[in-house]
Amino acid sequence: MPIYEYVCDVCGHAFEQLQRTLSAPTPSCPACGKTKVSKQFSTFSASVAADASPSCSLGACPSAGGCAGGGCPREQ
C-alpha cells in the first residue's frame, strides 16, 4: 500500500497518510483538522528532485535554501 505525504495548506503541518485505494478521500490535517491539504511527492522522489529545501522534512520551509544545514526551524 502506498504512503502519501501531505502538507496542510492552512497550518503547514506535514504528515503521511496510508491510502488503501487511489480513490480514497483527501485526508484531514491531524494538527488542525482542515481538509485543505496538498499531496506531496514521496520523500524519496522529493529528495532527488527538490532543490529548494533539501533537508526540510516538512517540504514547506519558509526560508528556501536556508535549511540545508539541517537547522530548519520548522523541522521537528
Please identify, among the stretches 10-18, 40-48, 49-57, 61-69, the one whose residues bind Zn ion according to the rule CB under 5 A.
10-18
Q: Is 5 in the site for Zn ion (CB under 5 A)?
A: no
Q: Is 24 in the site for Zn ion (CB under 5 A)?
A: no
Residues 32-61 that bind Zn ion (CB under 5 A): 32
CA distance 60 to 37: 12
Cell numbers at 5, concatenated: 505525504
Residue number with CB closer to Zn ion (11 or 68): 11
Burial of 29 (0-12, 13-18, 19+ CB in 10 A): buried
Cell numbers at 23, concatenated: 480513490
Q: Contact positions toward Zn ion, by CB under 5 A?
A: 8, 10-11, 13, 29, 31-32
